[in-house]
Structure 1
Amino acid sequence: MSKLDELIRELCPDGVQVFRLEEIAHYAKTRIDCKTINEDNYVGVENLLQNKAGKTKATSVPTTGMVIAYQKNDILIGNIRPYLRKVWLADCEGGTNGDVLTVQIEDTEKVLPQFLYYVLSSEKFFLYDIQNSKGAKMPRGSKDAVMKFEVPLPPPEVQREIVRILDNFTNLTAELTAELTARKTQYSFYREKLLDMTKVKAMMVEIADLGKWSGGKTPSMAEMKYWEGGTIPWVSSKDVKQPILSDTIDHITNAAVDEASMTVYPAGSVAIVTRSGILRHTFPVTYIPFETTVNQDIKILVTKEGISSRYVSHALQAYGENIRRTTKKQGGTVDSLDFQKVLAYKIPVPPLDVQNRIVNVLDNFEKICSDLNIGLPAEIEARQKQYEYYRDKLLTFAETGNTILSRAEQSRAEQSRAEQSRAEH
């Protein structure tokens, strides 16, 4: 960081001025007809991601009314939990909604969009935002408080160098992530081939005959005693994103189980999503290693004796795309599956000892792709932590003096300034 240190000593040796966000930016006010947007340029919290290139195709796009317009280099921030960490530097024009804050910079020569993006992606801003969010079930960030957030603003040359350093970190992480994606594709191909080979020695069994399938429901949102302080996992479609579920976003209380007649399913169940916009392109399946409840968009399976639930989860993932295509309902306001057709779909089920051997092979392969303690996932996790450390360190300035320099460097800088001051007098 020698170049950065030199720029700081030269351009802002006594620190930098701090501005409230409202002094350098404002919220987007322009509204556009929703007919001008599509799944590629519409942004809601559900398709906003937590990185610089952070959005995916929207699964649900409004068809009537007006939406908020965003421009290239605007910064979009998720404004409801659990999406407060999602921040995107827009690389195109499009539309968004009230669940996303659209920050537009007043003067992009004074405040580089890439620099402000990193500031608003920092842990400091996230903690500030979450502390000022309000609401019980789904807290929202305070638009007024966000605009009061204090942004240290070094000269553009310093901003540019900080952006360069942080971009290097994010580019490396992106390269590692791309390699991991390729390995996951390889794993999916290998898993399907392995399961196809079992067909010769396996029975073809309807999904309905794997065990007992059940659905769930949502306890009343108006009853805070069903949600506040809840510890019992409650699975909804937004949770089913990993092959093995580690936790749920929402939890319910014992009161919800008792009074709202919620069923608690045993550890080792398998859940699939049957109603959600994500079914437009994905068939979500997850193995749940803990007791849980589920909502009405989820179907959950408790396998019968002689059927490994881990084997079933692998099989449903392997044949998921074919299941989705052959059972998806046509039309409707929300994408959904014809569950009776899902139940009639057949998968190969070999003897239990063969199921267990297949599970062992696939679990080991899956660890290589997903386990944060080994391989590429571990390296990506380490790089991400390193990036976050340097991001927060680089973006931490004091109004007098900066905290990028070490104490020894600060001491030498102060001594140098003192000597220069004495020489001038």
Structure 2
Amino acid sequence: MIKWKDVSLKDISSYSTERINVDKLTVSNYISTENMLPDRGGKIKASSLPSSKTVSKYESDDILISNIRPYFKKIWYANQTGGCSNDVLVIRNNNPEKIVSRYLYYCLFTDDFFDYVMSGAKGAKMPRGDKDEIMKYQISLPPLSVQEQIAEMLTNIDNKISLNTKMNKTLEEIAINLYNEWFTNFGPFQDGEFVESELGMIPKGWEVLEIGNAIQILGGGTPKTSVEGYWNGGQINWFSPTDLTTQKSLFLTNSAKKITKLGLKKSSAKLFPPYSVMMTSRATIGEISINRTEASTNQGFITLIPNEDFSIYQLNFWLRSNMEIILSISNGSTFKEVSKTNFNKLKILKAKGIEEFIDKCEKLFDKIELNILESEELTRLRNYLLPRLLSGEIDVTKAEKEISEVL
């Protein structure tokens, strides 16, 4: 067996120092810490471009890492040329004859790397990685052929996860259009009779209700963090807004923190059934997800419980389509918050004859949920294999077979 060689990051890579004019960038290829997703989620489009004339340049196959609060584990493998803010490190492979760029990416994708960066980070409230220390990080190099095998295996998993994400985005867009057709355009009812209402002309037989009178609405709470018995050994999902902003998923299975039955009893947190609609209502307002198991939340939520008159599908899209109104009723000096009192007064349509809408949405949501569950399983597999493949603990051929069975 060929012995793997240990090298430091500076032996095979460097920080890019190139610059690019901002007028050559778009929101699709400008990267800042704000549009990089936590927990190795890649990136989304930027909300705007910077006011400066130039920024750091990156190219395809470069590795971008957010250097602010490294514990968020923001990393992206570039598939295009673009620019990024100063707080994003651009690491470039200088020795392709020694290391495959994708393999290098997965070496920096690990918990071990981010833990290392945090161990040398400076600053309390806004820690930043020490660029010199980062370059001392040690990497084990197998032969190039093995690197290519490992990189290809892990890339195949990530590609499948990415495909599921794209597919779900399309399915959600179909469902949103379906909601608009039924509840905004009233397409299936155009040949019927309409009546005047607070919300304008609506199909005859429909009603306008205050949401607080239509369904059960719950807030949340936080058990005392100083009481170990409220947290240690907890089995009850306890969602915080961070769970929704990091996972960015229509359906959520697990929360980062869990509470005990005693913690639930001794706090204002409420237990609600699976497939309720959770919306963040404080600071970050308007993140929406559906819990797959019994759950509770902290006080930064409004949770909607569906009933026989109001389906999970209508409630989900009602929230999304009324987000401007929801934001407008928020108030607060330190941070914005939507109170239950104000929220309960919002108007919703109680519809009749929408069985077809529910049936179609159910099929779409079921497919979305299955894709999410598959991606969660693939993520677990990747996270299990990653450190073992990079250390040589697992035989590459054996791992290839295991992955091929899953994919």
- TM above 0.5: yes
Please point out which of 230, 250, 261 is paired with 2:257.
250
Q: Alpha carbons of 1:160 and 1:285: their partners in 2 closer, same or farther (altered >3 Å)?
A: closer
After TM superposition, list the pairs within 5 Å mapping 1:310-329 onto structure 2: 311-329=310-328
Please point out which of 77, 82, 88 is paired with 1:89.
77
Q: How much has 1:312 moved relative to structure 2? A: 4.7
User: Which AA in structure 2 matches 1:347?
Assistant: I
On the 8 A contact 2:221/2:269 being kept in 1, the answer is no
Mapped partners of 1:183, 1:120: distance in 2: 33
After TM superposition, list the pairs within 5 Å mapping 1:219-298 onto structure 2: 223=226, 225=228, 229=232, 231=234, 232-240=236-244, 241-252=248-259, 262-268=267-273, 269-277=276-284, 279=286, 284-287=288-291, 289-296=293-300, 298=301
Measured on the aligned residues, the alpha-carbon RMSD in Å equals 5.6
On the 8 A contact 1:49/1:88 being kept in 2, the answer is no
User: Which AA in structure 2 matches 1:290?
Assistant: E
Q: How much has 1:323 moved relative to structure 2? A: 0.7
Mapped partners of 1:118, 1:396: distance in 2: 12
2:51 is the alignment partner of 1:74: no
Q: How much has 1:248 moved relative to structure 2? A: 1.6
Q: Alpha carbons of 1:71 and 1:158: their partners in 2 closer, same or farther (altered >3 Å)?
A: same
SS at match of 2:310: helix
SS at match of 2:238: strand
Query: Is the helix fraction higher in 1 or 2?
Result: 1
Q: Alpha carbons of 1:96 and 1:251: their partners in 2 closer, same or farther (altered >3 Å)?
A: farther
SS at match of 1:266: coil
User: Which AA in structure 2 matches 1:107?
Assistant: N
SS at match of 1:116: helix
On the 8 A contact 1:227/1:251 being kept in 2, the answer is no
Alignment partner, residue 33 of structure 2: 44
Mapped partners of 1:202, 1:369: distance in 2: 29
Q: How much has 1:117 moved relative to structure 2? A: 0.4
Q: Alpha carbons of 1:161 and 1:77: their partners in 2 closer, same or farther (altered >3 Å)?
A: farther
2:210 is the alignment partner of 1:206: yes
Q: Out of 190-199 and 110-119, give the one that drifted further.
A: 190-199
After TM superposition, list the pairs within 5 Å mapping 1:138-157 onto structure 2: 150-154=138-142
SS at match of 1:190: helix
Q: How much has 1:293 moved relative to structure 2? A: 3.4
On the 8 A contact 2:238/2:295 being kept in 1, the answer is no
On the 8 A contact 2:278/2:303 being kept in 1, the answer is yes
2:135 is the alignment partner of 1:126: no
Mapped partners of 2:367, 2:159: distance in 1: 22
For each residue in 1:197-232, what CA deviation from the matched residue of structure 2 results, as whole angstroms up to 9, or x when unmatched?
5954332212122245454455666x3748752624
Q: Alpha carbons of 1:205 and 1:310: their partners in 2 closer, same or farther (altered >3 Å)?
A: closer
Q: Of the two, which has the highest radius of gyration?
A: 1
Runs of 5+ consecutive residues of structure 1 not aligned to the other structure = 1-12, 31-36, 407-425
Mapped partners of 1:345, 1:111: distance in 2: 58
Alignment partner, residue 346 of structure 1: 347
On the 8 A contact 1:274/1:336 being kept in 2, the answer is yes
SS at match of 2:314: helix
On the 8 A contact 1:203/1:348 being kept in 2, the answer is yes
Q: Alpha carbons of 1:216 and 1:194: their partners in 2 closer, same or farther (altered >3 Å)?
A: same
Larger RCO: Structure 1 or Structure 2 (Cα < 8 Å, ≥ 6 residues apart)? 1
Mapped partners of 1:356, 1:146: distance in 2: 57
On the 8 A contact 1:310/1:359 being kept in 2, the answer is no
SS at match of 2:91: strand
Mapped partners of 1:379, 1:293: distance in 2: 25
Alignment partner, residue 107 of structure 1: 94
Equivalenced residue count is: 363
Q: How much has 1:324 moved relative to structure 2? A: 0.8
Mapped partners of 1:46, 1:220: distance in 2: 33
On the 8 A contact 2:220/2:298 being kept in 1, the answer is yes
Q: Alpha carbons of 1:220 and 1:264: their partners in 2 closer, same or farther (altered >3 Å)?
A: closer
Q: Alpha carbons of 1:131 and 1:310: their partners in 2 closer, same or farther (altered >3 Å)?
A: farther
Mapped partners of 1:106, 1:390: distance in 2: 23
User: Which AA in structure 1 matches 2:345?
Assistant: A
Q: Alpha carbons of 1:200 and 1:242: their partners in 2 closer, same or farther (altered >3 Å)?
A: farther
